[in-house]
Chain A
Amino acid sequence: MEVKDIFSYDWSYLLPEFIILGFATFLSLLDLFAGKRLGKQVIGWLSFLGTVIAAIFVIINMNALNKPYSYMIDMIRIDDYGNAFKLIFLAGTAFAILISLSYLKAGEVQHRGEYYYLLLTGLLGAMVMASSADLITLFVGLELLSLSSYVLVGLRKKSRLSNESAFKYVVSGSIATAVLLFGMSYVYGLAGTTHIYEISFRLAEAGMAGYQFLVYTAFAFLAVGLAFKISAAPNHMWAPDVYQGAPTPVTVFLAVVSKAAGFALIFRVMMISFFNVSDGTGSGRFFFEEGSLYLGLMAAASMIIGNTMALRQTNVKRMMAYSGIAQAGYLLVPFVPPTSLFFSEVIFYLFGYLLVSFGAFAVIMVVSREQETEDLKGFAGLYHRSPVMAIAMSIFLLSLAGIPITVGFFGKFYLFMGTLVVENYWLAAIMIITSVISYYYYFGIIRQMYMRPGTTEAPMVVPKGIWTFILIMAIATVFFGAFPGLVTDYIQIHFNPSFDFGNMLSPSSQ
């Protein structure tokens, strides 16, 4: 590859990242020098503005670029795959900022300024993760996201629960990072390069040269390390504690943005690096055989653990954490093994998950603050107190459970179809059974809302901002459930998913 001068690149494609970086820097300085004199919400609204502008530039990039644009030998790589994920990150962060703006409890988070620009730096990390094809930049992105998240989780300084969860998150996160780095060191040792497309060929050669076992070991460590970020088994244990302890907008940021980023990384690293490695017999490809089987076992374990453990939870945020573990399991399904459908399956599912999670957590936030408890019983009689909240929450829960006509149903249908295309009946069966198990706990909340008397019948006061937000999410959940074609077509037209996995593969490796 020809070496380019740093100024010879067209840096305009990196504008989304620069904007987020710029806003984060600017806001931290603003907070430092003018923090006391500013209105409480100004920094929040400015960071929201930042995400919107960045999203506009991502869309411009999408239309301007027909083929991937790469900086410094794929250190950063602007392609369809990354752009699709970036839109989800940006929307997720924007939503998190919105619900924080209208509903962050006074005094709950002491450092409001930091809160908002830490979300932005976390977002920047996620965006870097989605759009690089080099182990170094990927790792830098991952750490940027992780460090921001660690602080965000612990930002309720006076809450014992928050401190505890931040501590747990840092410790288990560091262990996961160590495992991941250990896996990467194997990859580097075998391949002698950090460039993922290079690795793809080097690992294949290493496999042929009799280092099969080391290749497999590298794969296993990478998978376990990355499972942490997406809260999939076997590295899911942190999620319930952290979800419970973190401020609710941060919880949902972790549940959506951080998880999606984990997926962006897992697929980019795992799939491309091991794309050319042949399996032991020499006839098949490792990733499409044993490798994806390994991910399949992770998926199955996550679905089973997540859905069964959720049954026993009484704290609604813990329950959502286990539900999130299960959702991570569903999201791993398209990779067993990847088909030409996989990219749009994942993006569609994440899109639906984005709407539903934010809607559900917004309701949880309103209810648990008003009731001063995060217990499931806080939902009792909600229907009589605020029918709109109850109906919206029911829609979100039905969507999470995968019942038509909601976006979650089509998401699951799509995943399901993808797995049956490759005749993975066992995984499909686990998906079905665990989904039905999940009915029980999702309907548990519905039961509280409609069938149990609450402590009071007084109408619940819901601030206008969050009320509108929840309503829009609920309508979108139903609308895209009835017309999922709008989203799948969009993915098809703008992200070119079917033919080379969303521009993930370099032309030579296809």
Chain B
Amino acid sequence: MGNILLSSLVFSPLLAIIVMAFIPNRHAGVIKQVGIYGTLPALILAGWMFGMFNYETANLQFVEKHSWISIPIGMAQAGTVFAFEINYELGIDGISMPLILLTAIIGTLAAIASWQIKKRQKEYFILFHLLLIGMLGVFAADNLFLFFIFFELTLVPMYFLIGIWGYGEREQAANKFLLYNGIGSGIMLLAFIVIFVIMRTLNIDEITAILTTPGHPITEILTPEMRFGIFLVLFIAFAIKLPVFPFHTWMLRVHVQAPPSIVMIHSGILLKMGAYGLLRMGIGFFPEQAYDFSMWIAVLGIINILYGAVLAFVQKDLKMVLAYSSISHMGIVLLGFASMNTIGFQGAMFQVVSHGFISALLFFLIGVIWDRTQTSMLDDLGGLAKSMPFVSGVLLAGGMASLGLPGMSGFISEFFAFLGLFGRLPVMAAVGAIGIVLTAVYLLRAILKTTFGPTPGRCTGLADAQPMEVIPMVVLLGCIILIGVYPAVLGNPMQQALKTIVPIVTGIGG
């Protein structure tokens, strides 16, 4: 187990932090360059690992394990001390691999987008890289304690990134973010420790194995009611992060107030940590309970889809349209989970990755537009296609991907998610599908209003995309189309891992 590849991937942003710490504040340009290049080691390593990844197996790969903390709790027989062990364990499977690659790609692109940051660049990039460590760690952790630490590690930099570099009401947004997510991770910790105390391990794989083995001695301690209780606690914790309907208000504020590069990360990756946790720790640990609860997951998913779509339609701010659109799209992830079969899960995970790219692209574009026009209100925008044809074109393409045009990633994910759900809850699926229509309505309305129509004074004579801005647009759009045209690139690694979850679900639940 002398493999340190995964650790070097997760902690590679530290290199940039150390280098930056020695650069004086006045060299803003150098700091920005280091900030961008600093994300490359993670990107290269992630790409390389994706290439080396063996997707024939569902086992964890690149596993690392070191003992870390041991808490003695009493004497076992023969005088040996009995202890709780907390280990440093990393490992990735087919579900986390694509997410790590997604994080690395969006990380680099968001760093490029951060070129726009005009004040306190050094602190910005140091916090940015801390955030990156947290996000990579969340997906790489194979231990609940470690998962939690990385999860929390994203909280503090995000607070600063929103609160210092955001727009007008940034501090309120940062506070709301902190409190909601603090509660989320707090109750997550509660569930984790209950699991730890009962099962005496924090290893995700071991816990999954123990919980899903029928007749395991643990079942005597862990009654079905308790299982359901822990499942529900985990579900709420991740529902706040995702965010699921009644817990979504914080996310709107963050989307509107945070700087564009941070919204790219937030909407592209941080929301996905909720979906990932839900699949791995909610459904993965408690398949039976999830199966019984799947009806409600579907209901919540539908609420998310329709509520998000309807409210997106009435928004006056382009950012709010996309924020509500994110809520709507996260509903599709829930629907995929509710299907409880391979296709549905695949749809959900596809949606996770695809929405990561799409929303990163769209929020990047909003940042570009804001940079030129100082507004994102739909009424103040219009006719951008004349002065910014390239940006407008990419915006249209991104919108198309978001509403699920065939040939783009959005289509594949929606198709799989609904296909999966039709197999199990056809009525729900039919209701949810209305959302697809609504998506087309609000997105086209917003995009048409922005790019075509009468051109207000402030929207004339704007510069089109600069080289620094073209790179993220092209790369993101490329990823979107690649997944749309060749879904196997994502499907293959996931396949095996998802297959191990599904038989457990269906095998027990019927």
Chain A residues in contact with chain B, CB under 8 A?
339-341, 344, 398, 403-405, 409-410, 413-414, 416-417, 420-421, 428-429, 432-433, 435-436, 439-440, 443, 447, 450-451, 483-485, 488-489, 492, 497-499
Contact = CB atoms under 8 A, between A and B. Distances in A.
A409 B189 CA distance: 11
Contact of B186 (A417, A420, A433, A497): A433
Interface of B: 68-75, 81, 84, 148-149, 152-153, 155-156, 159-160, 163-164, 171, 175, 178-179, 182-183, 186-187, 189-190, 193-194, 196-197
A191 to B, nearest CB: 31
A425 B461 CA distance: 63
B155 A403 contact: yes
A488 B171 contact: no
B72 A498 contact: yes
A436 B179 contact: yes
B164 A450 contact: yes
B70 A485 contact: yes
B187 A450 contact: no
Contacts of B81: 492, 498
Given A341-B73, A439-B182, A417 B196 contact: yes
Contacts of B179: 436, 439-440
17 contacts: A344-B71, A414-B71, A417-B193, A421-B197, A428-B193, A432-B189, A439-B182, A443-B159, A443-B175, A443-B178, A450-B160, A450-B163, A483-B69, A485-B70, A488-B71, A492-B81, A498-B75
Contact of B171 (A340, A414, A451): A451
A426 to B, nearest CB: 11
A428 B190 contact: yes
A499 B74 contact: yes
B84 to A, nearest CB: 7
Contacts of B71: 341, 344, 414, 417, 488
B181 to A, nearest CB: 9
A416 to B, nearest CB: 6
Contacts of A432: 183, 186-187, 189-190
Question: How would you classify the secondary structure of chain B's contact residues: helix, strand, loop or mixed?
Answer: helix
Contacts of B74: 340, 498-499
Contacts of A447: 163, 171
Contacts, number: 89
Contacts of A435: 182, 186
Given A404-B153, A432-B186, A498-B81, A420 B72 contact: no
> Which of the listed residues A341, A413, A497 has the most CB atoms from chain B within 10 Å of its own CB?
A413
Contacts of A443: 159, 175, 178
A451 B197 contact: no
A439 B148 contact: no
Nearest to B71: A488
B189 A413 contact: yes
Contacts of A492: 72, 81
Contact of B183 (A341, A344, A436): A436
B156 A398 contact: yes
A404 B149 contact: yes
B197 A403 contact: no
Contacts of A433: 183, 186
Contacts of A421: 73, 197
B225 to A, nearest CB: 13
Contact of A403 (B72, B156, B194): B156
Q: Which 8 A-B pairs give the minimum distances between C-beta atoms?
A: A432-B186, A485-B69, A436-B182, A404-B149, A404-B152, A420-B193, A436-B183, A340-B74
A439 B178 contact: yes
A470 to B, nearest CB: 19
B84 A403 contact: no
Contact of B69 (A344, A420, A439, A488): A488
B72 A417 contact: no
> Which of the listed residues B81, B149, B153 has the most CB atoms from chain A within 10 Å of its own CB?
B149
A433 B186 CA distance: 8
Nearest to A417: B193
B409 to A, nearest CB: 34
B228 to A, nearest CB: 14
Nearest to A428: B190
B222 to A, nearest CB: 12
A451 B164 contact: yes
Contacts of A436: 179, 182-183, 186
A483 to B, nearest CB: 8
